[in-house]
Amino acid sequence: MLQGKLGVVFGVANRRSIAWGIAQALSGAGARLALTYQERVGDTVNELAATLPGSMTMPCDVTRDEDIEGTFARLDEAFGGLDILVHSLAFAPHEALAGTFVDTTREAFRIALDVSAYSLVALARAARPLMERRGGGSIITMTYLGSDRVFPRYNVMGVAKAALESSVRYLASELGPPSIRVNAISAGPIRTLAARSIPGFPRMEEHVRQAAPLRRNTEAAEVGDVALFLASDLSRGVTGEVIFCDSGYHVMGTSMPLG
């Protein structure tokens, strides 16, 4: 489905990462990928990338404009264009998740919105000329139901995801003319490195497993398959959307009792 396509994946940290599940799906369908990483997980990402044919890796701190510029300059040199961009990035200081939302500090709010939402805008801007050269492209980001509903202890991340989803719609509108599609996948709770930092996460998993129509939690490989659809020409008429991959939990009216 993606033979000859060129992509970059932001957010791989280890084998449990949703970004890694997506990278495996895209590579398995024929895409050649670049994986970016933070310095602290560089060795792990390099080991994972070695299992994907034709892939490459590079460090990138998305809070630094110069890092983003350098990353896309390297992509341009190596690939000569870009078809797919996967944004699987989110972060908030631990204290902003452990306490109450009303006590969120200005700095914690800034960091959460910068890393989790603004980075998509910055990456889309940098990717645009490379995608235009290829006649268009697909930008995919990861969100969560906490953007629309209150989940105890999700706090400022819910606000950040709401900003991310709004950014998807505005980017889709502006990048549509050069045939660049922008969509989000809203996954159910998956035990990633980032998810484990959310207090009460195991209870969240158990609740979803019991309440979701499919009576199970979501797997990273399932999210990877949705991303494969969004990256391929099968979704050529889809943009500005939030597609759920959460075993159907979002359609239910049950509340989540997290203390």
What is the tens place of the pLDDT at every residue in 122-136? 999 999 999 999 999
Distances in whole angstroms, Cα of residue 179 to Cα of each of 53, 128, 134: 28, 10, 10
Give residue 205's pLDDT: 76
- pLDDT mean over 144-159: 93
Give residue 259's pLDDT: 41
Give residue 64's pLDDT: 97
Give residue 199's pLDDT: 62
Residue 155, token pair as written in the block: 């706090």
- Distance of alpha carbon 179 from the chain centroid: 21
- Among positive and negative, which fits the CA dihedral 147, 150, 156, 159? positive
Out of 37, 144, 170, 249, the active site residue is 144
In which band, very low, low, confident or very high, does the pLDDT at 197 lie, cut at 50, 70 and 90? low
In which band, very low, low, confident or very high, does the pLDDT at 159 lie, cut at 50, 70 and 90? very high
170 is catalytic: no
Out of 37, 118, 154, 170, the active site residue is 154
List, in order of start, the domains of the chain with CATH numbers.
6-245 (3.40.50.720)
- pLDDT mean over 209-229: 92
Give residue 46's pLDDT: 97
Give residue 203's pLDDT: 74
In which band, very low, low, confident or very high, does the pLDDT at 52 lie, cut at 50, 70 and 90? very high
pTM recorded for the entire structure: 0.93
- pLDDT mean over 213-241: 95
- pLDDT mean over 34-53: 95
Give residue 257's pLDDT: 45
Question: In this predicted model, what pLDDT tens digit does every residue of 64-74 receive, in sequence order?
Answer: 999 999 999 99
Residue 102, token pair as written in the block: 């009303």
Looking at 11-91, which runs of residues are DSSP E strands?
A: 32-37, 56-59, 84-87
Separation of alpha carbons 208 and 193, rounded Å: 19
154 is catalytic: yes
Give residue 258's pLDDT: 43
Give residue 107's pLDDT: 98
Give residue 254's pLDDT: 61
Helical (H) or strand (E) element with 172: helix 156-175
Q: Is the pLDDT of residue 30 over 70?
A: yes
Beta-strand pair 180-187/32-37: unpaired
Distances in whole angstroms, Cα of residue 21 to Cα of each of 14, 76, 174, 221, 233: 10, 25, 29, 5, 20
**Mean pLDDT, the chain, as a whole number?**
93
Give residue 194's pLDDT: 64
